[in-house]
Homo-oligomer: A and B are copies of this chain.
Amino acid sequence: MKIVQKDFRVSSKQRNEMIDITSQVSSIVSQSGVTAGDAIIYCPHTTAAIVINENADPSVPHDILLTLEELVPHYRPGYRHSEGNSDAHCKSSIVGGSKQVLIKDKTLSLGTWQGIFFCEFDGPRSRKVMVQVRGE
């Protein structure tokens, strides 16, 4: 089995932002030489997350961020964490900091409308994304 890991950086420009990282992940998969297996996209941050959803119409990430904002507002009575970013920790915990995509014929098996997004919930910041590709 082959295990290849590559990291790259992402720069967010807003407090809440979904950044399409499909092409970066795809190129790591191509370069890995793995024909069949999977890729793990891992975010080592506690106020960000990874989402797989539609990247064709930019209104979809807009609506996802809007929904998360309404469910988890920036300030909520009762928050104890003093850094003012409890909402970002909560969004990160709900959405999840890593996702997995299958690889077949040397290509990510994403659905027609699926793209991979880095979700920033406490930007702007410079962030790291880790990608591990495993298989044969």
Is the CB of A22 closer than 8 A to any CB of chain B?
Answer: no
With A63-B89, A102-B5, A130-B109 as contacts: A57 and B81 at CB distance below 8 Å: yes
Nearest residue (CB) in B for A97 is: B52
Nearest residue (CB) in B for A89 is: B60
Contact of A66 among B5, B36, B76 (CB under 8 A): B76
State in angstroms the CA–CA spacing of A81 and B93 once bound together: 25
Hey, which chain B residues are within 8 Å of A38, CB to CB? 40, 132, 134
In this complex, the member of A1, A5, A67, A97 whose beta carbon has the largest number of chain B beta carbons within 10 angstroms is A67
CB–CB A95/B94 < 8 A: yes
Is the CB of A123 closer than 8 A to any CB of chain B?
Answer: no
State in angstroms the CA–CA spacing of A52 and B44 once bound together: 9
Stretch of A9-17, A23-31, A110-118 with 4 or more beta carbons under 8 angstroms from chain B: A110-118
Hey, which chain B residues are within 8 Å of A114, CB to CB? 44-46, 97
Nearest residue (CB) in B for A127 is: B111
State in angstroms the CA–CA spacing of A39 and B77 once bound together: 36
**1/0 contact trace for A83-112 toward B, CB 8 Å?**
000110110111111111110100001111
6 of the cross-chain contacts (CB-CB < 8 Å) are A3-B135, A5-B102, A5-B104, A44-B114, A46-B113, A71-B71
